[in-house]
């Protein structure tokens, strides 16, 4: 498996983490949750339904930082307890 997860703040909500996958698609960002492509507004709505939940951004090695950063900020704005970002190496 090519994902390494770490966190300074343990998830104590009892809920599974909200995982958003971030990659580049041409010049645009591609964000998916549970295999479904979402916009930034949809990501915010999904995250707001579970305040106190832990968020994980799994990003492709070639994803622009603007895409990764936007996803992190969106989850923080939604009130998630903590947000980690980890690179997907594809192995």
* Residue 79 DSSP one-character state: T
Domain boundaries, the chain: 18-88
* Residue 31 CA, distance from chain mean position: 8
CATH number of 18-88: 3.30.420
Q: Per-residue pLDDT tens for 53-86?
A: 999 999 999 999 999 999 999 999 999 989 999 9
How far is the C-alpha of 15 from the C-alpha of 3, rounded, in Å? 20
pLDDT of residue 4: 42
Residue ranges of alpha helices (H) inside 4-49 are 40-48
End-to-end CA distance of the chain: 6
Average pLDDT over residues 11-39: 89
Structure tokens at 48: 């707001």
Alpha helices in the chain (DSSP H): 40-48, 65-77
Given pLDDT bands bounded at 50, 70 and 90, which one contains residue 91?
low
Residue with tokens 């947000």: 83
pLDDT confidence of residue 12:
53
């Amino acid at each position: 498996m090519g994902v390494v997860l770490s966190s300074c703040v343990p998830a104590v909500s009892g809920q599974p983490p909200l995982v958003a996958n971030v990659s580049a698609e041409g010049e645009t960002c591609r964000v998916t949750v549970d295999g479904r492509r979402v916009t930034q507004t949809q990501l915010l709505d999904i995250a707001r339904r579970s305040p106190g939940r832990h968020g994980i951004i799994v990003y492709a090695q070639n994803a622009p930082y603007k895409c990764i950063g936007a996803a992190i900020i969106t989850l923080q704005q939604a009130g998630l307890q903590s947000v980690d970002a980890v690179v997907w190496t594809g192995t």
